[in-house]
Structure 1
Amino acid sequence: MHTKLASKHLPLKPYLAGQAVPVRELHAGHREEILQHFLQLDDEDRRLRFGTQTPDEVIRSYVAGLNFNKDAIFGIFDLNLKLIGMAHLAYLPQVKGKTRSAEFGVSVLPEGRAQGLGTALLQRSAVHSRNTRVEILYVHCLSNNKAMMHLAQKAGMAVEYAYGDADAYLKLPPASPATIVQEAANEQWADLDYAWKANLKRSNQAWWWFLGRPGLAP
Protein backbone atom coordinates (compact mmCIF):
# COMPACT_ATOMS: atom_id res chain seq x y z
CA MET A 1 0.00 0.00 0.00
CA HIS A 2 1.35 3.39 -0.98
CA THR A 3 2.10 6.05 1.66
CA LYS A 4 2.85 8.91 -0.73
CA LEU A 5 0.48 11.80 -0.13
CA ALA A 6 -1.04 14.21 -2.55
CA SER A 7 0.88 17.44 -2.39
CA LYS A 8 -1.88 19.77 -3.49
CA HIS A 9 -4.52 20.84 -0.97
CA LEU A 10 -7.86 20.01 -2.53
CA PRO A 11 -10.90 21.40 -0.68
CA LEU A 12 -13.91 19.19 -0.16
CA LYS A 13 -16.71 19.93 -2.60
CA PRO A 14 -20.16 20.85 -1.28
CA TYR A 15 -22.29 17.90 -0.21
CA LEU A 16 -24.84 18.26 -3.00
CA ALA A 17 -25.51 14.71 -4.17
CA GLY A 18 -26.14 13.57 -0.60
CA GLN A 19 -29.03 16.03 -0.34
CA ALA A 20 -30.95 13.82 -2.78
CA VAL A 21 -29.58 10.45 -1.58
CA PRO A 22 -29.94 9.60 2.13
CA VAL A 23 -26.84 7.71 3.29
CA ARG A 24 -27.12 5.78 6.55
CA GLU A 25 -24.28 4.65 8.78
CA LEU A 26 -24.49 0.88 9.22
CA HIS A 27 -23.83 -1.17 12.34
CA ALA A 28 -23.31 -4.85 13.22
CA GLY A 29 -27.05 -5.48 12.95
CA HIS A 30 -26.77 -4.86 9.20
CA ARG A 31 -24.20 -7.62 8.63
CA GLU A 32 -26.68 -9.87 6.81
CA GLU A 33 -27.77 -7.05 4.48
CA ILE A 34 -24.12 -6.31 3.73
CA LEU A 35 -23.45 -9.98 2.97
CA GLN A 36 -26.43 -10.20 0.61
CA HIS A 37 -25.29 -7.00 -1.10
CA PHE A 38 -21.87 -8.45 -1.92
CA LEU A 39 -23.24 -11.86 -2.92
CA GLN A 40 -25.41 -10.15 -5.54
CA LEU A 41 -22.35 -8.71 -7.30
CA ASP A 42 -21.31 -10.73 -10.34
CA ASP A 43 -17.76 -12.01 -10.88
CA GLU A 44 -16.57 -8.89 -12.71
CA ASP A 45 -18.06 -6.51 -10.14
CA ARG A 46 -16.39 -8.49 -7.35
CA ARG A 47 -13.05 -8.32 -9.16
CA LEU A 48 -13.32 -4.57 -9.51
CA ARG A 49 -14.44 -4.09 -5.90
CA PHE A 50 -11.85 -6.32 -4.24
CA GLY A 51 -9.09 -6.29 -6.87
CA THR A 52 -9.22 -10.03 -7.49
CA GLN A 53 -11.62 -12.89 -8.14
CA THR A 54 -13.67 -13.25 -4.97
CA PRO A 55 -15.72 -16.41 -4.35
CA ASP A 56 -18.66 -16.53 -1.95
CA GLU A 57 -16.65 -18.03 0.91
CA VAL A 58 -14.14 -15.17 0.79
CA ILE A 59 -16.96 -12.62 0.87
CA ARG A 60 -18.55 -14.38 3.84
CA SER A 61 -15.23 -14.26 5.69
CA TYR A 62 -14.75 -10.58 4.80
CA VAL A 63 -18.20 -9.60 6.06
CA ALA A 64 -17.81 -11.67 9.23
CA GLY A 65 -14.57 -9.81 9.94
CA LEU A 66 -15.94 -6.29 9.54
CA ASN A 67 -15.17 -4.23 12.64
CA PHE A 68 -17.88 -1.62 13.09
CA ASN A 69 -16.11 -0.16 16.12
CA LYS A 70 -12.91 0.48 14.18
CA ASP A 71 -14.16 1.45 10.71
CA ALA A 72 -17.19 3.30 9.36
CA ILE A 73 -19.59 1.66 6.93
CA PHE A 74 -22.34 3.50 5.06
CA GLY A 75 -25.28 2.26 3.04
CA ILE A 76 -28.13 3.31 0.78
CA PHE A 77 -31.41 1.37 0.88
CA ASP A 78 -34.08 1.20 -1.79
CA LEU A 79 -37.84 1.27 -1.14
CA ASN A 80 -37.80 -2.45 -0.29
CA LEU A 81 -34.94 -1.91 2.23
CA LYS A 82 -32.50 -3.65 -0.07
CA LEU A 83 -28.93 -2.42 0.39
CA ILE A 84 -28.14 -1.22 -3.13
CA GLY A 85 -25.08 0.91 -2.34
CA MET A 86 -22.40 0.49 0.30
CA ALA A 87 -19.12 2.16 1.27
CA HIS A 88 -16.43 0.92 3.64
CA LEU A 89 -14.25 3.60 5.20
CA ALA A 90 -11.26 1.76 6.67
CA TYR A 91 -8.94 3.73 8.93
CA LEU A 92 -5.31 2.99 8.07
CA PRO A 93 -2.90 2.20 10.94
CA GLN A 94 -1.76 5.36 12.67
CA VAL A 95 2.00 5.96 12.37
CA LYS A 96 3.56 8.51 14.68
CA GLY A 97 4.45 11.65 12.77
CA LYS A 98 2.48 10.57 9.70
CA THR A 99 -0.77 11.93 8.28
CA ARG A 100 -3.94 10.21 9.49
CA SER A 101 -5.53 8.44 6.52
CA ALA A 102 -8.53 6.29 5.63
CA GLU A 103 -9.21 4.06 2.63
CA PHE A 104 -12.52 4.26 0.78
CA GLY A 105 -14.14 1.30 -0.99
CA VAL A 106 -17.55 1.32 -2.64
CA SER A 107 -19.97 -0.95 -4.48
CA VAL A 108 -23.36 -0.29 -6.06
CA LEU A 109 -25.72 -2.95 -7.40
CA PRO A 110 -26.64 -2.68 -11.11
CA GLU A 111 -30.13 -1.32 -10.44
CA GLY A 112 -28.68 1.57 -8.46
CA ARG A 113 -26.02 2.74 -10.90
CA ALA A 114 -25.92 6.05 -12.79
CA GLN A 115 -28.04 7.67 -10.05
CA GLY A 116 -25.34 9.44 -8.05
CA LEU A 117 -25.15 6.81 -5.30
CA GLY A 118 -21.39 6.39 -5.52
CA THR A 119 -20.92 10.15 -5.30
CA ALA A 120 -23.23 10.39 -2.28
CA LEU A 121 -21.35 7.58 -0.52
CA LEU A 122 -17.99 9.20 -1.23
CA GLN A 123 -19.10 12.61 -0.01
CA ARG A 124 -20.71 11.13 3.11
CA SER A 125 -17.45 9.28 3.82
CA ALA A 126 -15.40 12.42 3.24
CA VAL A 127 -17.47 14.45 5.70
CA HIS A 128 -17.20 11.67 8.30
CA SER A 129 -13.45 11.51 7.67
CA ARG A 130 -13.07 15.22 8.36
CA ASN A 131 -15.05 14.90 11.56
CA THR A 132 -12.81 12.05 12.76
CA ARG A 133 -9.56 13.93 12.05
CA VAL A 134 -8.66 12.08 8.86
CA GLU A 135 -6.47 14.24 6.63
CA ILE A 136 -6.15 12.04 3.54
CA LEU A 137 -8.93 10.03 1.92
CA TYR A 138 -7.37 7.26 -0.13
CA VAL A 139 -8.67 4.92 -2.87
CA HIS A 140 -6.80 1.90 -4.24
CA CYS A 141 -8.29 -0.01 -7.16
CA LEU A 142 -7.54 -1.62 -10.51
CA SER A 143 -6.69 0.94 -13.16
CA ASN A 144 -9.41 -0.46 -15.44
CA ASN A 145 -12.09 0.24 -12.85
CA LYS A 146 -13.55 3.06 -14.92
CA ALA A 147 -16.45 3.76 -12.56
CA MET A 148 -14.15 4.19 -9.56
CA MET A 149 -11.69 6.33 -11.51
CA HIS A 150 -14.51 8.54 -12.78
CA LEU A 151 -15.82 8.91 -9.22
CA ALA A 152 -12.37 9.78 -7.88
CA GLN A 153 -11.61 12.33 -10.59
CA LYS A 154 -15.08 13.86 -10.25
CA ALA A 155 -14.32 14.38 -6.55
CA GLY A 156 -11.07 16.17 -7.40
CA MET A 157 -8.77 13.38 -6.29
CA ALA A 158 -5.17 13.22 -7.46
CA VAL A 159 -4.74 9.89 -9.31
CA GLU A 160 -1.54 7.88 -9.84
CA TYR A 161 -1.23 4.75 -11.99
CA ALA A 162 1.32 1.94 -11.62
CA TYR A 163 1.44 -1.71 -12.74
CA GLY A 164 -2.25 -2.07 -13.46
CA ASP A 165 -3.32 -0.43 -10.19
CA ALA A 166 -4.45 3.09 -9.42
CA ASP A 167 -4.19 5.19 -6.26
CA ALA A 168 -6.26 8.30 -5.71
CA TYR A 169 -5.87 10.81 -2.88
CA LEU A 170 -7.97 13.64 -1.55
CA LYS A 171 -6.46 15.95 1.06
CA LEU A 172 -9.22 16.98 3.44
CA PRO A 173 -9.55 20.27 5.31
CA PRO A 174 -10.11 20.04 9.07
CA ALA A 175 -13.56 19.56 10.57
CA SER A 176 -15.67 22.62 11.22
CA PRO A 177 -18.91 23.30 13.09
CA ALA A 178 -20.63 23.13 9.70
CA THR A 179 -19.37 19.61 8.91
CA ILE A 180 -20.35 18.36 12.37
CA VAL A 181 -23.88 19.74 12.02
CA GLN A 182 -24.02 18.48 8.43
CA GLU A 183 -23.20 14.92 9.41
CA ALA A 184 -25.65 14.89 12.31
CA ALA A 185 -28.42 16.25 10.10
CA ASN A 186 -27.67 13.76 7.34
CA GLU A 187 -27.73 10.84 9.78
CA GLN A 188 -31.03 11.96 11.27
CA TRP A 189 -32.52 12.37 7.81
CA ALA A 190 -31.23 8.92 6.72
CA ASP A 191 -32.77 7.33 9.83
CA LEU A 192 -36.12 8.99 9.10
CA ASP A 193 -35.91 7.87 5.47
CA TYR A 194 -35.22 4.28 6.57
CA ALA A 195 -38.14 4.34 9.03
CA TRP A 196 -40.46 5.70 6.31
CA LYS A 197 -39.40 2.94 3.91
CA ALA A 198 -39.87 0.29 6.63
CA ASN A 199 -43.40 1.56 7.32
CA LEU A 200 -44.19 1.68 3.61
CA LYS A 201 -42.96 -1.88 3.16
CA ARG A 202 -45.11 -3.14 6.05
CA SER A 203 -48.15 -1.29 4.70
CA ASN A 204 -47.66 -2.75 1.23
CA GLN A 205 -47.24 -6.24 2.62
CA ALA A 206 -50.41 -5.90 4.68
CA TRP A 207 -52.32 -4.60 1.66
CA TRP A 208 -51.17 -7.43 -0.60
CA TRP A 209 -51.98 -9.95 2.14
CA PHE A 210 -55.47 -8.46 2.38
CA LEU A 211 -55.86 -8.89 -1.39
CA GLY A 212 -54.56 -12.45 -1.20
CA ARG A 213 -51.48 -11.71 -3.26
CA PRO A 214 -47.77 -12.20 -2.53
CA GLY A 215 -46.14 -9.34 -0.68
CA LEU A 216 -42.97 -7.52 -1.57
CA ALA A 217 -39.89 -9.65 -1.92
CA PRO A 218 -37.70 -9.65 1.19
Structure 2
Amino acid sequence: MRSKPAPTAFDIRRLWSADSTILIEHFQRLDTQTRHMRFGGPVSDSFVTDYAAQALSIDSVIFGAFPDGGLRGVAELRGILGMWPKQAEIALLVEPDWQDGGIGDALLGRVIAAAQNRGINKVHMLCLRENARMQSLARKHEAELIFYIGDVEATLQPPWPTPMSVFEEVYGDPHGYFRAVFPLGPWLPRRSE
Protein backbone atom coordinates (compact mmCIF):
# COMPACT_ATOMS: atom_id res chain seq x y z
CA MET A 1 0.00 0.00 0.00
CA ARG A 2 1.21 3.48 -0.91
CA SER A 3 1.98 5.80 1.98
CA LYS A 4 0.15 9.12 1.96
CA PRO A 5 2.24 12.06 0.74
CA ALA A 6 3.19 14.76 3.19
CA PRO A 7 1.42 18.07 2.44
CA THR A 8 4.62 19.44 0.88
CA ALA A 9 5.38 16.33 -1.19
CA PHE A 10 3.44 17.30 -4.30
CA ASP A 11 3.33 20.00 -6.92
CA ILE A 12 0.24 22.05 -7.71
CA ARG A 13 0.04 24.06 -10.88
CA ARG A 14 -2.57 25.69 -13.07
CA LEU A 15 -3.83 23.58 -15.96
CA TRP A 16 -4.04 25.03 -19.46
CA SER A 17 -5.61 23.84 -22.73
CA ALA A 18 -2.41 21.89 -23.50
CA ASP A 19 -3.23 19.76 -20.43
CA SER A 20 -6.54 18.56 -21.87
CA THR A 21 -5.29 15.00 -22.45
CA ILE A 22 -4.04 14.48 -18.89
CA LEU A 23 -7.27 15.97 -17.52
CA ILE A 24 -9.35 13.54 -19.61
CA GLU A 25 -7.15 10.64 -18.41
CA HIS A 26 -7.60 11.79 -14.80
CA PHE A 27 -11.39 11.76 -15.08
CA GLN A 28 -11.34 8.41 -16.92
CA ARG A 29 -9.42 6.77 -14.02
CA LEU A 30 -12.19 7.55 -11.55
CA ASP A 31 -14.21 4.68 -10.17
CA THR A 32 -18.03 4.70 -10.12
CA GLN A 33 -18.29 5.92 -6.51
CA THR A 34 -15.83 8.82 -7.01
CA ARG A 35 -17.66 9.91 -10.16
CA HIS A 36 -20.93 9.76 -8.24
CA MET A 37 -19.53 11.98 -5.47
CA ARG A 38 -18.00 14.49 -7.91
CA PHE A 39 -20.93 14.81 -10.33
CA GLY A 40 -23.82 14.16 -7.96
CA GLY A 41 -24.95 10.97 -9.66
CA PRO A 42 -23.91 8.17 -12.00
CA VAL A 43 -22.09 9.31 -15.14
CA SER A 44 -20.69 7.44 -18.12
CA ASP A 45 -17.18 7.34 -19.60
CA SER A 46 -18.36 9.53 -22.48
CA PHE A 47 -19.81 12.09 -20.05
CA VAL A 48 -16.56 12.48 -18.12
CA THR A 49 -14.56 12.62 -21.36
CA ASP A 50 -16.80 15.39 -22.74
CA TYR A 51 -16.73 17.22 -19.40
CA ALA A 52 -12.94 17.12 -19.16
CA ALA A 53 -12.52 18.19 -22.79
CA GLN A 54 -14.65 21.30 -22.14
CA ALA A 55 -13.38 22.09 -18.62
CA LEU A 56 -10.41 24.23 -19.64
CA SER A 57 -12.57 27.06 -20.95
CA ILE A 58 -12.03 30.80 -20.70
CA ASP A 59 -14.60 30.91 -17.89
CA SER A 60 -12.60 28.69 -15.55
CA VAL A 61 -9.37 28.44 -13.61
CA ILE A 62 -8.24 24.87 -12.89
CA PHE A 63 -5.39 23.66 -10.70
CA GLY A 64 -3.98 20.14 -10.68
CA ALA A 65 -2.02 18.24 -8.04
CA PHE A 66 0.90 16.05 -9.13
CA PRO A 67 2.13 14.00 -6.13
CA ASP A 68 3.86 11.34 -8.23
CA GLY A 69 4.30 13.20 -11.52
CA GLY A 70 0.76 12.28 -12.58
CA LEU A 71 -2.41 14.35 -12.22
CA ARG A 72 -4.17 13.00 -9.10
CA GLY A 73 -6.36 15.91 -7.97
CA VAL A 74 -8.17 18.83 -9.57
CA ALA A 75 -9.77 22.01 -8.23
CA GLU A 76 -11.97 24.06 -10.56
CA LEU A 77 -13.13 27.65 -10.25
CA ARG A 78 -15.98 28.20 -12.74
CA GLY A 79 -18.30 31.03 -13.68
CA ILE A 80 -15.77 33.80 -13.22
CA LEU A 81 -17.25 35.92 -16.03
CA GLY A 82 -20.55 37.74 -16.40
CA MET A 83 -22.00 38.09 -12.88
CA TRP A 84 -22.17 41.07 -10.58
CA PRO A 85 -21.36 40.94 -7.79
CA LYS A 86 -18.84 38.38 -8.90
CA GLN A 87 -19.68 34.83 -7.87
CA ALA A 88 -18.21 31.49 -8.86
CA GLU A 89 -18.45 27.79 -8.19
CA ILE A 90 -15.68 25.55 -6.90
CA ALA A 91 -15.46 21.84 -7.65
CA LEU A 92 -12.80 19.60 -6.13
CA LEU A 93 -11.73 16.04 -6.79
CA VAL A 94 -8.88 13.86 -5.56
CA GLU A 95 -8.44 10.30 -6.78
CA PRO A 96 -9.33 7.78 -4.01
CA ASP A 97 -5.80 6.42 -3.53
CA TRP A 98 -4.52 9.95 -2.95
CA GLN A 99 -7.16 11.18 -0.49
CA ASP A 100 -6.37 12.07 3.13
CA GLY A 101 -2.85 13.28 2.33
CA GLY A 102 -3.43 17.05 2.24
CA ILE A 103 -3.99 17.34 -1.52
CA GLY A 104 -7.64 18.45 -1.28
CA ASP A 105 -6.81 21.07 1.35
CA ALA A 106 -3.91 22.46 -0.72
CA LEU A 107 -6.00 22.52 -3.91
CA LEU A 108 -8.89 24.26 -2.19
CA GLY A 109 -6.55 26.88 -0.71
CA ARG A 110 -5.07 27.53 -4.14
CA VAL A 111 -8.44 27.91 -5.87
CA ILE A 112 -9.77 30.18 -3.08
CA ALA A 113 -6.70 32.41 -3.58
CA ALA A 114 -7.49 32.47 -7.33
CA ALA A 115 -11.06 33.58 -6.54
CA GLN A 116 -9.74 36.24 -4.16
CA ASN A 117 -7.32 37.56 -6.78
CA ARG A 118 -10.14 37.90 -9.33
CA GLY A 119 -12.28 39.96 -6.96
CA ILE A 120 -14.90 37.24 -6.60
CA ASN A 121 -17.18 38.13 -3.72
CA LYS A 122 -18.71 34.71 -3.12
CA VAL A 123 -17.83 31.14 -4.04
CA HIS A 124 -20.17 28.16 -3.80
CA MET A 125 -19.38 24.48 -3.49
CA LEU A 126 -22.12 21.89 -3.83
CA CYS A 127 -21.70 18.30 -2.67
CA LEU A 128 -23.85 15.33 -1.82
CA ARG A 129 -25.00 15.09 1.76
CA GLU A 130 -22.98 11.90 2.26
CA ASN A 131 -19.74 13.57 1.16
CA ALA A 132 -18.36 14.16 4.66
CA ARG A 133 -14.80 14.76 3.39
CA MET A 134 -15.89 17.72 1.28
CA GLN A 135 -17.97 19.17 4.11
CA SER A 136 -15.04 18.87 6.51
CA LEU A 137 -12.73 20.56 4.02
CA ALA A 138 -15.24 23.39 3.48
CA ARG A 139 -15.53 23.93 7.24
CA LYS A 140 -11.74 24.01 7.54
CA HIS A 141 -11.75 26.91 5.08
CA GLU A 142 -14.47 28.70 7.09
CA ALA A 143 -17.34 28.04 4.69
CA GLU A 144 -20.94 28.38 5.75
CA LEU A 145 -22.78 25.10 5.11
CA ILE A 146 -26.47 24.85 4.27
CA PHE A 147 -28.00 21.37 4.33
CA TYR A 148 -30.75 20.44 1.90
CA ILE A 149 -32.49 17.07 1.46
CA GLY A 150 -29.78 15.46 -0.69
CA ASP A 151 -27.15 18.18 -1.05
CA VAL A 152 -25.01 20.51 0.98
CA GLU A 153 -24.04 23.97 -0.25
CA ALA A 154 -20.89 25.55 1.14
CA THR A 155 -20.42 29.30 0.67
CA LEU A 156 -17.22 31.29 1.18
CA GLN A 157 -16.57 35.00 0.89
CA PRO A 158 -12.92 35.56 -0.09
CA PRO A 159 -11.34 38.80 1.13
CA TRP A 160 -9.86 41.39 -1.21
CA PRO A 161 -6.69 40.43 -3.09
CA THR A 162 -3.35 40.96 -1.37
CA PRO A 163 0.25 40.38 -2.44
CA MET A 164 0.18 37.23 -0.28
CA SER A 165 -2.94 35.90 -2.05
CA VAL A 166 -1.24 36.41 -5.41
CA PHE A 167 1.80 34.54 -4.09
CA GLU A 168 -0.45 31.74 -2.78
CA GLU A 169 -2.22 31.35 -6.13
CA VAL A 170 1.07 31.09 -8.00
CA TYR A 171 3.26 29.21 -5.51
CA GLY A 172 1.10 27.80 -2.72
CA ASP A 173 1.11 28.54 1.01
CA PRO A 174 3.19 31.72 1.41
CA HIS A 175 3.65 31.28 5.17
CA GLY A 176 4.98 27.75 4.73
CA TYR A 177 7.30 28.90 1.95
CA PHE A 178 8.78 31.73 4.01
CA ARG A 179 9.11 29.51 7.11
CA ALA A 180 11.03 26.99 4.97
CA VAL A 181 13.36 29.68 3.60
CA PHE A 182 13.70 31.60 6.89
CA PRO A 183 13.01 28.95 9.58
CA LEU A 184 13.93 31.16 12.54
CA GLY A 185 11.72 34.09 11.53
CA PRO A 186 9.59 34.80 14.64
CA TRP A 187 8.09 37.73 12.72
CA LEU A 188 6.21 35.33 10.46
CA PRO A 189 2.64 34.59 11.52
CA ARG A 190 1.93 30.96 12.37
CA ARG A 191 -1.04 29.31 10.70
CA SER A 192 -3.26 27.30 12.99
CA GLU A 193 -3.30 23.70 11.77
TM superposition score category, shorter chain reference: 0.7 to 0.9
CA distance in 2, matches of 1:83, 1:32: 11
Q: Determine the structure 1 residue equivalent to 2:95.
A: 109
Aligned-partner SS, 1:115 = coil
Identity of aligned residues (%): 29
Structure with the greater alpha carbon radius of gyration: 1
Shift of the 171–20 alpha-carbon distance from structure 1 to 2, 3 Å rule, reads farther
CA distance in 1, matches of 2:81, 2:58: 14
Unaligned runs of 5+ in 1: 1-16, 188-218
- Maintained 8 Å contact 1:107/1:118: yes
Q: Determine the structure 2 residue equivalent to 1:122.
A: 108
- Maintained 8 Å contact 2:20/2:56: no
- Maintained 8 Å contact 1:18/1:123: no
Deviates more, 1:17-26 or 1:138-147: 17-26
- Maintained 8 Å contact 1:21/1:120: no
- Maintained 8 Å contact 2:60/2:80: no
Spell out, residue by residue over 1:27-85, the C-alpha distance to the aligned partner (whole angstroms, 9 max, x if none).
11111111111111111110100001011011111112224322001001133x21111
Aligned-partner SS, 2:65 = strand
What TM-score do the two structures reach when normalised by structure 2?
0.80
Q: Determine the structure 2 residue equivalent to 1:87.
A: 75
Q: Determine the structure 1 residue equivalent to 2:187.
A: none
Shift of the 101–19 alpha-carbon distance from structure 1 to 2, 3 Å rule, reads farther
Q: Determine the structure 2 residue equivalent to 1:151.
A: 137
- Maintained 8 Å contact 2:59/2:80: no
- Maintained 8 Å contact 1:130/1:174: yes
Unaligned runs of 5+ in 2: 1-5, 174-193
Q: Determine the structure 2 residue equivalent to 1:190.
A: none
The correspondence for 2:22, drawn from 24, 33, 36, is: 33
CA apart distance, 1:20: 5.7
Spell out, residue by residue over 1:166-201, the C-alpha distance to the aligned partner (whole angstroms, 9 max, x if none).
1000111100122223333449xxxxxxxxxxxxxx
- Maintained 8 Å contact 1:90/1:104: yes
CA distance in 1, matches of 2:145, 2:33: 22
The size of the alignment, in residue pairs, is 168
Shift of the 154–41 alpha-carbon distance from structure 1 to 2, 3 Å rule, reads same
CA distance in 2, matches of 1:112, 1:52: 22
Q: What amino acid sits opposite 1:152 in the alignment?
A: A
**2:11 corresponds to 1:22:** yes
CA distance in 2, matches of 1:18, 1:181: 18
Q: Determine the structure 2 residue equivalent to 1:170.
A: 156
CA distance in 2, matches of 1:43, 1:185: 33
- Maintained 8 Å contact 2:9/2:67: no
Shift of the 185–146 alpha-carbon distance from structure 1 to 2, 3 Å rule, reads closer
What TM-score do the two structures reach when normalised by structure 1?
0.71
Aligned-partner SS, 2:52 = helix
Q: What amino acid sits opposite 2:124 in the alignment?
A: Y
